[in-house]
Amino acid sequence: MRCPDNPGLTRSYDLIGHGLEITTGAQREHRYEILARQAAEKGLGQENIQFYLDFFRFGCPPHGGFGFGLSRFLMVTLGLSNVREAVFLFRGPNRLHP
């Protein structure tokens, strides 16, 4: 979620250990109109993410979360060269569904 005072910043953090991003967390965007606008700005067709936007249509409280990078941890522990080698189904910016 972008900071209201400075749109160039986000309300987020990264936990780095031994040069590896272990955890990323942030306050999530919860406002339907802003989510729909950001999707349009990124060229995502609203029909492709309507299932996600529907959760926010009638209001959602401010919330946050984090993601523990287990696959990145496994990648380093096992000496793999790419995180895709450590996960069963890779999900990235261009892949929303397994």
What's the pLDDT at 64? 92
What's the pLDDT at 11? 92
Task: For the chain, give every domain's residue range.
Answer: 28-85
Token pair for 54: 């529907």
What's the pLDDT at 36? 92
What's the pLDDT at 6? 92
Distances (CA, A) of 54 to 43, 51, 60, 88: 18, 5, 11, 28
What's the pLDDT at 9? 92
| pLDDT under 50: residue ranges of the chain | none
What's the pLDDT at 98? 61
DSSP assignment of 4-48, as one string? SS-TTSBSEEEEEETTEEEEEEEEEP--HHHHHHHHHHTT--HHH
